[in-house]
A and B are shown apart, each in its own frame.
Chain A
Amino acid sequence: MSESPVTTETAGAEAPAPLGPWARMRRRSLRHGSVLFGGFLLLAFVAIALTAPLLAPHDPYAQDLTKRLIDPVWSAKGSWAHPLGTDQLGRDYLSRMLYGSRVSLIIGLVAMTISGLIGTAMGVAAGYFGGRVDHVVNFVVTTRLSMPVILVALAVVAIAGSSLVVVVLVLGFLLWDRFAVVMRSATRQVRDLEYVTAAEALGMSVWRIVLSEILPNVLGALIVIATLEMAHAILLEAALSFLGLGVQPPTPSWGLMVSEGRKVMFFKSWLITIPGAALFLLVLAINLLGDGLRDVMAPEGRG
């Protein structure tokens, strides 16, 4: 549901800083709490996702209808056999939480990659060629922005049938607008720099110029947008799954777990607070990292 606030603010603030020496950046980011915190948290999530089979005490899909809705360990009736209790089908909640991180991260990463490729291609093309290409890209971006994302995503998923692949593709094809906007302005600024004009004069092909001269210079802005869009994709997947048109059961998706748990949220509230909090923390981590990186790479602190 969370619409991307594509704003003049994001567009303007992400203006690419000429890439400073890596050493200086590293020193800065070390000093920068949010990069550290966000990075650490994200790393933790990635580590959990990678090692989920080792960490999970049970098979996340193994249901046992005689062990339904067991309370978590901190409540009077809980036990360490199921530290976070079990869900409506008697599946171990901790194991499902651990595996759920994979769904969120995979969807976030893949959707971000797809949208990144589309948006960057459009943005760089618009910024580099300008003129008509710019007009067309501007038109496509405006069209995309004016469509209500959730409604369109829901409609497409309803048509194509909901599965992990469909959801990833839909999100990937819907969330490229910010990439395009930022990449366009970033490319425009770099385009007129001396070495690019020099490369052109040397007769380098457009592709080579874009790949070797322009992309490395807009990389900073790209990374920042990538983190924001990854967070955005994760939230949207959760929302779609919550509405029943995202990832399908029995795949453990945190959004789906909130949706399934809410039936009994007034009596067993941990069923929605835990997966919701996990989503919140993951998105928070990614946003903090992105924010921090933006500040680190911007010339004069955050602004």
Chain B
Amino acid sequence: MSKELRTYRRLPLLALSGVMLLGATALSPAPAHAGKADDTLTFALEQEVEAVNFYQSTSRDGVILSRLIWDTLIYRDPESGAYEPGLATSWKWVDATTIDFDLRQGVTFQNGEPFDADDVVFTLSYFPSPEAKVKSRESVAWIDHAEKLGQYKVRLFLKAPFPAALEFLASPLPIYPKDYYQKVGAEGMEAAPVGTGPYKVTKIVKGESITFERNPNYYKDSPKGEPQIGHIVMRTIPDKNTQLAELMTGGVDWIWKVDKDQAESLRAMPQLTVKDAETMRIGYLTFDAAGKAGPSPLTNVKVRQAIAHAINRQSIVDNLFAGGARVVDTACFPEQFGCDQTVKHYDYDPALAKKLLAEAGYPDGFEIQLNGYRNRDLAEAMVGDLAKVGIKATLNYGKYAAIRDMIRSGKSKMAFMTWGSNSIGDVSASTSVFFTGGADDTYGDAEVKAELDKGDTSTDPAVRKEAYSKALHRIADQAYWLPLWSYPYTYAYTSDLNFTPTSDEIPHFAQASWK
């Protein structure tokens, strides 16, 4: 038996050496190490974009990629907010529905195709048409068509007066190469995207990564500047924690939306830089004030106000955000046009909250479901605060679409949501979305709607401001929403990198460089 045993003792050893051999052979194609040493910036995103072809995508991550591959007619400086020449060197409003553009000369697409009026006319006429099946209709719906006035001159016709036209031309409308697109179609553009932008796509591994290479022929006077870094790799890593592990071990160079506690520990690491930057996103609690989801205490304004007084927003901002967040009192982002900050502020005052609850007939509180889709820790903190005044809230977390659907169809009594206004700096992109009788308006307040409509349609800034102010005051007084806080993003990246976070929720990698 001892002889047998010897043989069989060797078995696991054999197996082990087999596994090691396997590992050794795998060692040879060692993954390209990210970082300054080989001039490759690797950044991680949670979600895979639905399409690299920009017009087939609605995600914010798609915007990040589009800024690398393509350019737009107009460039909006993310820091100053000023509009600067992009592919158009100048533009002029002919009337309320017509804009003329002079185009930049000497620009070529990454495949060598020269850029001129044909490309602009094609982009601005084809994509607004229904046959293009653009995924984000609102980006193009306001455009009627474009006409060529000369090789470098284009006239754009709008369907109706649209104050935000320049804003849109500066963002969701990258200019496509006409000949290439007509030859390869949407599928071809997806497989091998071509633009005028500072980086060109060299490799796409589905679900895992997209590799970019600096465009050596990028036009010199671009407001984006000359691209500095040789290669950029976008990696999809769905688990935030895994992203962090990769950052700490040098597998990736850049991550964002870092959690507070992670940020604190990362700040202590010399090889990493951690920065906070505010965004236009705000968090809010929405209450079923109209009782669409059946009778509930929340139809009573005193109860809603009690909740506003019960939640210690400042403490949550101070303790659970990495930095750069602030308490918001308005149903819009404070820096948006028309977002009047003189509205009612609800102090943290649990005693007052209890008193209001008692007045409303709920001295012992009540039970309620709090729906939400992100930042569970923040929701939990609010649940904890509510418990202190006797309101027993239970969390129901779901996907964004499901929770938004619940609210719209009147099945949610209270929900914790966020809104990013698509990075548009105007109240019409925030408050008006929720209070003007659309699908998201569950409050049905005619007074608020009337004021917002007035603000949305007027062209006189003073009139708009006054109308929005009235609406915002009423929303705050009635506590239809409890606006909570702004959402800063916390970025963590290798200290070798020069990178400037901006408030538009879009990291601009084309402007990054190595130290």
Contacts and interface: CB of A to CB of B under 8 A. Distances in A.
A65 B248 contact: no
Contact of A249 (B265, B316, B387, B395): B395
Contacts of B248: 266
Contacts of B318: 65
Interface stretch (B67-75, B167-175, B237-245, B459-467): B237-245
Nearest to B312: A65
Interface in B34-56: none
B261 A88 contact: yes
Interface string A243-266: 010001110000000001011111
Contacts of A268: 261
B335 interface: no
A289 to B, nearest CB: 29
Given A68-B319, A263-B240, A266-B244, A63 B384 contact: yes
B294 to A, nearest CB: 17
Interface stretch (B25-33, B140-148, B197-205, B374-382): B374-382
A11 interface: no
Nearest to A265: B241
Nearest to A66: B319
Nearest to A67: B319
Interface in B389-406: 394-399, 402
Contacts of A248: 394-397
Contacts of B397: 162, 244, 248
B259 interface: yes
A81 interface: no
Contacts of B394: 163, 248
Nearest to B318: A65
B265 A250 contact: no
Contacts of A61: 384, 387
B262 interface: yes
Contacts of A88: 261, 320, 377
Contact of B261 (A62, A69, A163, A244): A69
Nearest to B377: A88
A68 B384 CA distance: 14
A263 B396 contact: no
Interface in B282-307: none
B396 A162 contact: yes
Contacts of B380: 63, 89, 249-250
B262 A264 contact: yes
Contact of B377 (A89, A262, A265, A266): A89
A250 B383 contact: yes
Interface string A42-63: 0000000000000000000111
Place the interface of chain B in its size category. Answer: 20 to 34
Contacts of A65: 312, 315-316, 318-320, 381
A89 B396 contact: no
A65 B378 CA distance: 11
Interface of A is mostly: loop
A158 interface: yes
Given A68-B319, A249-B376, A263 B261 contact: yes
A22 interface: no
Contacts of A161: 396, 398
Contacts of A80: none
A267 interface: yes
Contacts of B312: 65
A302 B90 CA distance: 86
A161 B399 CA distance: 10
Interface in B251-292: 259, 261-262, 265
A57 B137 CA distance: 57
A268 B261 CA distance: 10
Contacts of B265: 264, 266-267
Given A89-B377, A161-B398, A250 B261 contact: no
B384 A263 contact: no
A263 B315 CA distance: 21
Contacts of A62: 384
A267 B261 CA distance: 9
A111 to B, nearest CB: 21
B396 A158 contact: no
Contacts of B315: 65-66
A44 B254 CA distance: 47
Contacts of A263: 240-241, 259, 261-262
Nearest to B381: A89
Nearest to B395: A248
A62 B403 CA distance: 27
B379 to A, nearest CB: 8
Q: Which of A62, A66, A89 is packed against the most chain B CB atoms within 10 Å?
A: A89
Contacts of A63: 380-381, 384
A68 B396 CA distance: 24
Nearest to B315: A65
Contacts of B261: 68-69, 88, 263-264, 267-268
A103 to B, nearest CB: 15
A83 to B, nearest CB: 21
B350 to A, nearest CB: 14
Interface in B338-390: 376-377, 379-381, 383-384, 387
A266 B242 CA distance: 10
B313 to A, nearest CB: 11
A61 B392 CA distance: 12
A267 B376 CA distance: 20
Contacts of B398: 158, 161
- Most B CB contacts (10 A, CB to CB) among A69, A262, A264 go to A264
Nearest to A69: B261
B318 to A, nearest CB: 8
Contacts of A244: 376, 397
A265 B261 CA distance: 10
Contacts of B240: 263
Contacts of B259: 263-264
B137 to A, nearest CB: 28
A161 to B, nearest CB: 6
Contacts of A265: 241
Interface string A152-164: 0000001001110
A61 B395 CA distance: 14
A265 to B, nearest CB: 7
B375 to A, nearest CB: 12
Nearest to B387: A61
A114 B325 CA distance: 48
A303 to B, nearest CB: 20
A89 B381 CA distance: 7
A248 B379 CA distance: 11
22 contacts: A63-B384, A65-B316, A65-B319, A65-B320, A65-B381, A68-B261, A88-B261, A89-B380, A161-B396, A161-B398, A163-B394, A163-B396, A244-B376, A249-B380, A250-B383, A250-B384, A263-B240, A263-B262, A264-B261, A265-B241, A266-B244, A267-B262
Given A66-B319, A88-B320, A88-B377, 14 more contacts: A62-B384, A63-B381, A158-B402, A163-B396, A244-B376, A249-B379, A249-B380, A249-B383, A250-B383, A263-B259, A264-B265, A266-B245, A266-B248, A267-B262
Rank and list the top 4 A-B pairs by shortest CB-CB distance, nearest first: A63-B384, A65-B319, A267-B265, A264-B261
